[in-house]
Structure 1
Amino acid sequence: MRKAYRILYQGGTGEITEKKSRFIANLKPVEREEEALAFIEETRKRYWDARHNCYAWIIGRGGEEKRLSDDGEPGQTAGKPMMDVLEGEKLVNLCAVVTRYFGGTLLGTGGLVRAYSKAVQEGLKACTPMTVEPAVKLSVLTDYNGIGKIQYLLGQREIATLGIEYTDRVELTALVPDEALDHLRADLTEATSGRAVLLVTGEVYYGIFNKDVILFP
């Protein structure tokens, strides 16, 4: 069974200061290890004079691949708290890098854990998260008398229309969440007295950004 998952549609940057140490969090959507490694290297080059560039990434719709690094900080004080924040937000397909400029005062293990966690949380405030849900493309073929009922029904159920073609008949393509498919089939069949032809033409994932439908393979 396909499941919904959460991603960053847009990454972002946030910064905190703890006892004069600067912690700069950069987060970016990634879908492959190569993308995460490239982002980490890009960040290291940007902050070439920083003492630490710690990171955590989660890749895969189910979070199958995870990696983290303390990059010279005491063990479990940087990468692990960063990962805990990402997992707590149930986010996948993203990489977080926190750059630290040492301010001259030691923070201790507890202070470092709090600082790295807080930095990622601050970075997430500048990001745009998105819930990505499974759906099907449903082709609905009907006559001109039936299209009004179909569009009304889809509108009531907030089902997005991806396209519509007018020839001797009308063919409408709708984006239907997986869990709504069976009920919608029954309702469309009833509304058109069985005259509409319904055909699933593909499976996708989708999210909504500024009321626009964003499709994912």
Structure 2
Amino acid sequence: MPSTLVGPCEYREEIRKSRFITFAAPINTPAQAQAFIEQHSDLNATHNCWAWKLGAQYRSTDDGEPGGTAGRPILAAIEAQDFDQVVVLVIRWYGGIQLGTGGLARAYGGGANKCLQQAERLPLINRVSLSLECSFSELTLIKLRLAELNGLVQHETFTANGVEMSIALGPEQIETFQRHVSDISRGRIILQR
């Protein structure tokens, strides 16, 4: 199952006198990825190489390193660990010793791998949007049952009679949640797609 990151993370290492710092973060749009890259890039560094993956979309750059030695290995690290909705930036300060194309690919891909391995994962779950109406007294219990099934409250509107909710829930959890809601409301509440 694909995962994203819970939050930003970083990894630092030195390889043959070159310093490498890897930053990774979760993203929801290509614009967020570019903003993260611009915010964390160091213009004084020798290279700012990066890759991001967002569903079927992906981008990477070698930023002056030999073609295919930085961006592609970073992207391969993202895909090898089954990450999605993630951006990874590896910054290099050249230390005076040539690493060769294989050494560069290992350094960039390895830094991305180590950064992502130590990061806290958040599984990406396919969810279906549903709506329901409940009374104020039922709200707390409904939210509790929804959280137990890894569902989300997308929106709630308080009315004179109770609460109108828009929720998101995994398709395989809908039947179970409907049973919980029916038990709570004695069959009055029905989920609507």
* Percent of residue pairs identical: 28
Counterpart residue number, 1:128: 120
- Relative to structure 1, the CA distance from residue 188 to residue 52 in structure 2 (aligned partners, 3 Å threshold; closer, same or farther) is closer
Counterpart residue number, 1:56: 51
Amino acid at match of 1:180: Q
Counterpart residue number, 2:170: 177
Amino acid at match of 2:174: L
* Number of residue equivalences: 186
Counterpart residue number, 1:119: 111
- Relative to structure 1, the CA distance from residue 200 to residue 5 in structure 2 (aligned partners, 3 Å threshold; closer, same or farther) is farther
Tell me how far apart the structure 1 counterparts of residues 28 and 180 of structure 2 sit (CA, whole Å). 38
Tell me how far apart the structure 1 counterparts of residues 164 and 35 of structure 2 sit (CA, whole Å). 42
Root-mean-square deviation over aligned CA pairs: 3.6
CA contact 2:62–2:68 (8 Å) conserved in 1:
yes
Amino acid at match of 1:86: I
Residue 10 of structure 1 aligns to a residue in which SS?
Answer: coil
Counterpart residue number, 2:19: 22
Alpha-carbon shift at residue 100 of structure 1 (Å): 0.8
Tell me, which stretches of 5 or more residues in structure 1 are unaligned?
A: 202-217
1:139 to 132, 142, 156: 132
Residue 198 of structure 1 aligns to a residue in which SS?
Answer: coil
Tell me how far apart the structure 1 counterparts of residues 26 and 188 of structure 2 sit (CA, whole Å). 41
What's the TM-score, normalizing by structure 1?
Answer: 0.67
Counterpart residue number, 2:10: 13
Alpha-carbon shift at residue 116 of structure 1 (Å): 0.8
- Relative to structure 1, the CA distance from residue 20 to residue 184 in structure 2 (aligned partners, 3 Å threshold; closer, same or farther) is same
What's the TM-score, normalizing by structure 2?
Answer: 0.74
Tell me how far apart the structure 2 counterparts of residues 115 and 85 of structure 1 sit (CA, whole Å). 11
Alpha-carbon shift at residue 86 of structure 1 (Å): 0.5
More strand by share: 1
> Any residues of structure 2 matched to 1:65-104 within 5 Å, and which?
65-104=57-96
Alpha-carbon shift at residue 65 of structure 1 (Å): 1.3
- Relative to structure 1, the CA distance from residue 48 to residue 188 in structure 2 (aligned partners, 3 Å threshold; closer, same or farther) is closer
CA contact 1:13–1:24 (8 Å) conserved in 2:
yes
CA contact 1:11–1:128 (8 Å) conserved in 2:
no
